[in-house]
Amino acid sequence: MQTEKKPLILVTNDDGITAPGIRHLIKIMKTIGEVVVVAPDRPQSGMGHAITISDNLYCDPVTIDKYSQIKEFSCSGTPADCVKIGTQEILKRKPDLCVSGINHGSNSSINVIYSGTMSAAVEAGVEGIPAIGFSLLDYSMEANFDHTTKYVKRITQSVIKNGLPKGTVLNVNIPKASEEKIKGIQICRQANARWEERFDKRQNPQGRDYYWLSGEFVNQDKGNNTDVEALDANYVSVVPVKFDLTAHDFINELNSWDIND
């Protein structure tokens, strides 16, 4: 009797290959398929969809867990670089799935634009690979990921079974571990929210000015069924994300403008 071939899963992140979040994600993916890891050699949070074009790019095999048979590669580049080099140079065939995370911190709402975690998933989607970005609403490197397992596994297996539309990836955010039990999973839209940012101007010991970015996350969305609302109510939020940035509903009006010669 022929056994069913396991799906090939590319695992990456933006917190670095040794971060607890990706180590937990790897453990989960090992129960689902054949896993190959290509992840940054250092934290790359907030890198968005940056790629390396003016520096050498290194990608070396590493052993993080000496008892594991999984192939892992540490990349000097960004999360998007990891997916590019992983699919084009490391893997012998196109992966059946790419999972990115588990990120230490939220990637709900507008954070999807800045997120290296989600940019890795988007890059996989651009290459025609079903992809999911997973994030936990806990920025601590000592965060508890145990409660994420069943949700990560359930969503991953559903994507493998059902596939994703071309041009769409999933953005999954999971509430922080607490005494309150997570209520379930909600399929949501991205909330209309933004960062109200501030730059704290300081001086280094040599007297040169520098700036430290800080800010406050402001939810401007008064509607329902948003990822922020779901997370506030202690649900796992799942947002299908399209990376075609065209404002299709504005094309006709823009054509009516007198901008042609």
Residue 103, marked binder: yes
Choose among 34, 68, 49: nearest CA to 160: 34
Taking CA atoms, 143 is separated from 83, 146, 173, 178, 242, in Å, by: 25, 9, 14, 11, 29
Check if the beta carbon of residue 169 is closer than 8 Å to that of residue 244.
Answer: no
Choose among 142, 141, 124: nearest CA to 133: 124
Query: What one-character DSSP code corresponds to residue 30?
Result: H
Length of the chain: 261
Choose among 224, 101, 112: nearest CA to 151: 101
Residue 14, marked binder: yes
Please state, in angstroms and rounded to a whole number, the distance separating the CA atoms of residues 211 and 190.
30
Q: Rg (Cα) of the chain, in Å, rounded?
A: 20
Residue 15, marked binder: yes
Please state the residue numbers annotated as binding site for a divalent metal cation: 14-15, 45, 103
Binding-site residue set: 14-15, 45, 103
